[in-house]
Amino acid sequence: MENSALAKTTSVDVLIEDWASDKDAFKNVSWGKAMMWIFLLSDTFIFSCFLVGYMSVRMTTAEPWPNSSEVFALTIMGEHIPLILIAIMTFVLITSSGTMAMAVNCGYRNQPKQAAILMLVTAGFGLCFVGMQAFEWSKLIEEGVRPWGNPMGAAQFGAIFFMVTGFHGFHVSIGVIYLIIVALKVLRGDYEDRGYEIVEITGLYWHFVDLVWVFIFAFFYLW
């Protein structure tokens, strides 16, 4: 029975019904959630513009593009491992996405304490990510990478690197603050009457940050 109900709300007939119903097209979607999604949609366009800008710049440069595999390599215990820092950052962010999903789940199971703790753990992984990004930036700046040039190749590399990863890192930092605030409010009992959908909304933002990283990782670091 539950399955047929699910099939109904996700079908095209219901889509037409919803949009033709004069008001309240997004049924059973709270305003908080709808607005977060619409904000994320606008953010999608911002990041897309950055990545399309990167594409143009990379396609038009007549100089060779620096080999990211080598630029982001680290020597750990005498072993030279390509792109390792970025791989670790990717795994940290995915781990944080997992703990966030668990937090949302706990929220809906009415376990606010666990939800808040998991959100703080997620924020911790986020901080760890930003810390590694700071390390990566200082390493590159030390090696002479600047927004206007670098010793490894095409001058545009630095501009794209600092802009795209900087903007993403800024999103992660804001996400950490957001998570901490909501977690503390959950612990304080602010949502006891209203339920814990706020955890899901915060989670949407956090998963989006991870989602953007998936694209940056593919296009900027691996391509």
Partner 1 sequence: MENGSDVQGQQQHPISLYFKVWGLLFVLSGFSYAVDYLQVQGELRWALIIIFMFLKAGLIVAVFMHMVWERMAFVLAILMPPLCILVLIALMSIEADYTYFNRLFFFND
Give residues in contact with partner 1 (CB under 8 A).
2-3, 5-6, 9-12, 14-15, 18-19, 25-30, 34, 37-38, 40-41, 44-45, 48-49, 52, 55-56, 59-62, 69, 82-83, 87, 90-91, 94, 97-98, 100-102, 104-105, 108-109, 195, 197, 200, 203-204, 207-208, 210-211, 214-215, 217-218, 221-223
User: What minimum distance in Å lies between the beta carbon of 195 and partner 1?
Assistant: 8
Minimum CB distance to partner 1 smaller for 52 or for 134: 52
User: What minimum distance in Å lies between the beta carbon of 61 and partner 1?
Assistant: 8
Q: What sign results for the dihedral spanned by CA atoms 14, 17, 23, 25?
A: positive
Residue 144 zone, left/alpha/beta (φ > 0; ψ -120 to 50; rest) = left
User: What minimum distance in Å lies between the beta carbon of 108 and partner 1?
Assistant: 4
Which of 74, 45, 94, 50 shows the shortest CA–CA distance to 214?
94
Cα end-to-end distance, the chain, whole Å: 47
Please tell me the distance from the alpha carbon of residue 210 to that of residue 94, in angstroms, as a whole number: 7
Minimum CB distance to partner 1 smaller for 162 or for 217: 217
